Amino acid sequence: MNSSTLDRFSEKVLQIVRANGIGVFSLSAADNRLYPQTIRNGSADISVQTVDPIDMEDETELASFAWRALNHEVHQVAEEPVVLSGHQLPPPIMILPIIWSREPIEEGEETLRRAVGLMLLWNKRDHDRFNADDHTLADTLSAQAAALLVEEQLAEFEDIQAAFATVPIGLMLVNTAERVVVANQASRSILAQTTLTGKTISEVDYQNQLAGVLDDARNGRTVQSAFVSPSGINFIANAQLTNDGQIILAFSSSPINQDAEELVGQVAHELRTPLTVIQGNLQTVEALFEGDLQEGDAELINEFVGTCLLQASRMYRMIDETLNLSRIHVGKELELEIREFDLIDAVNQVLLELEDRLNRHTLVVEMPDQLPMEGDRGKIISIIDNYLKNSAKYADPGTTITLRVQPLNGDVTISVQDQGIGIPPEAIERIGREAGFRTDVSKSQAGGIGLGMVYTRRVIDAHGGVMGIESELGVGSTFSATLPLKQVAESKD
């Protein structure tokens, strides 16, 4: 999860709090350990590569501080040196939890709140102590760190956190201790429980119907089983094991439309995360204005505001894409807002928005410096965005993703080539035409291409373009869009 955004964020924190060292750790739900994501210290030879995960079951002073900070959601301050993987951190050291929270979306839903990591700040400049203002600033910055950690963690939890509050089926996340971590309103209604979070499955399992389903899931089998609710209604219980050993448990009265669930989860994720980032940035700017502005703060404020504008643009585009998918669903044509724009500028915007997702891969970009074209800028950005995110999802970290923009004879071809799992030949023609398409090439690469590619193909068609797909199993895929640089105006009779 090492992120260039987290690195830049850490540098800002050091400037704002005026400390000499910072460490940001993510909390793994699978083994309850804290994994280093970024370490910054100008005066010591310490980095992410030289720091081991913090095991809160270890009998070390730092593990004890971390346990109290996370379990009681309080700041801890060490006035004596603390050892981190053989490195002695100079005092004072502030240890604070990184908490992610979300207010209820629907009536009766519980507030989601969970610890996602830990932040360490050490060696206050000028040998000073951390004061009350420092703790207040640290809280604000911790909220932004939560947004950044969740931004990346949601890549692993897209079908868990994002979809729960919005899909019309019962959904629960059960951890390795058989306790419910997250549950939506539908699941509470099905199980006739006012609350589920924190309870064990044995406490809520009506007539012991779910034990076998969970056992099968833990043995690596995705299973479906009949389930009769306390009110006598028949449901289908579906259980699937996640990468970190937890189980997604879903209750449906009819077969789950997996593509619709994927879309809703993606939209909820894409909208919620930028909003959290915007909120964190604005809170930090507010904190800067409330204090005495220092030299260099103007540059920080400009960068925070620039991030807000970029994320707001991303949210607007996602809302527009969702509304247009609704139009497609009811058989309506897409509406295009045609204007001239620089395609290269649009490509660079997408690359900036997806920087953290793409930095797990080697990215090669081949394109001219400028390329004016006519079209709906937002919808063409969605083509590039969908192609890049699809490649990042299905290609292993460290492999190469190549983005090309090639103008020729009045057209431009935008292509994204990856070294991913590939697509069966018989399935290529269905991509973007059937919402139910799924690759099923590798069970370890869950999910499908689905509705995102349906939308992409419709955008390309609306511009008078052609969608191209080349793929070889085990080698990779190339998705392309050939579009006219000039749009022909419709004649009016």
pLDDT score, position 442: 39
Q: Mention every residue, 6+ apart, whose C-beta is less than 8 A from residue 235.
A: 170, 190, 226, 227, 228, 229, 251, 252, 253
Closest-CA residue to 146 (of 73, 223, 253): 73
For the chain, the straight-line distance linking the first and the last C-alpha, in angstroms and rounded, comes to 58
CATH 3.40.50.150 fits 4-155, yes or no: no
Sign (positive or negative) of CA dihedral 293, 296, 298, 302: negative
Q: What is the model's pTM?
A: 0.47
pLDDT, tens digit (0-9, with 9 covering 90-100), for 180-204: 878 888 888 899 988 888 889 999 9
Tokens of 286: 């507010």
Q: To the nearest 10°, the Cα dihedral for 188, 190, 191, 193?
A: 40
pLDDT score, position 280: 72
pLDDT, tens digit (0-9, with 9 covering 90-100), for 23-75: 999 887 656 788 898 998 865 678 888 889 998 888 899 999 999 999 899 99
pLDDT score, position 282: 74
Tokens of 225: 């089983």
> How far is residue 98's CA from residue 269's CA, in Å, rounded to a whole number?
19
Closest-CA residue to 316 (of 278, 345, 282, 355): 278
CA distances from 8 to 5, 52, 137, 270, 300 (A): 5, 22, 17, 22, 11
| 362-366 and 400-408 strand pairing | parallel
Tens-digit pLDDT profile for the chain (493 aa)?
A: 445 777 888 888 888 888 999 999 988 765 678 889 899 886 567 888 888 999 888 889 999 999 999 989 999 999 999 999 989 999 999 999 998 877 766 566 667 777 889 999 999 988 788 999 889 888 888 888 887 777 655 554 444 444 455 556 788 888 888 888 788 888 888 999 888 888 899 999 988 889 888 888 888 776 678 788 888 777 888 888 876 678 888 887 643 344 445 555 555 556 666 666 676 777 777 776 766 666 667 777 777 777 777 767 767 666 676 666 656 555 566 788 899 999 999 999 999 888 878 888 999 999 999 999 999 998 999 899 889 988 888 888 899 999 999 999 999 999 999 998 888 887 787 776 544 443 433 333 333 334 577 778 889 999 999 999 999 988 999 999 999 999 876 544 4
SS3 219: coil
Alpha helices by DSSP H, 158-257: 163-164, 185-190, 201-204, 211-218
- Are 25 and 39 contacting, i.e. CB atoms less than 8 angstroms apart? no
CATH class of 333-484: alpha beta
pLDDT score, position 84: 92
* Cα-trace Rg, the chain: 24
Per-domain residue ranges for the chain? 4-155, 170-255, 333-484
Tokens of 271: 């909208």
CATH 3.30.450.90 fits 170-255, yes or no: no
> How far is residue 451's CA from residue 262's CA, in Å, rounded to a whole number?
8
- Are 272 and 157 contacting, i.e. CB atoms less than 8 angstroms apart? no
- Note the residue count of the chain: 493
Give the position of tokens 């797990």: 360
Alpha helices by DSSP H, 334-484: 343-353, 355-358, 377-394, 425-428, 450-462
Q: Mention every residue, 6+ apart, whose C-beta is less than 8 A from residue 299.
A: none
Q: Evaluate whether 4-155 and 170-255 have a shared fold.
A: yes
pLDDT, tens digit (0-9, with 9 covering 90-100), for 159-178: 444 445 555 678 888 888 88
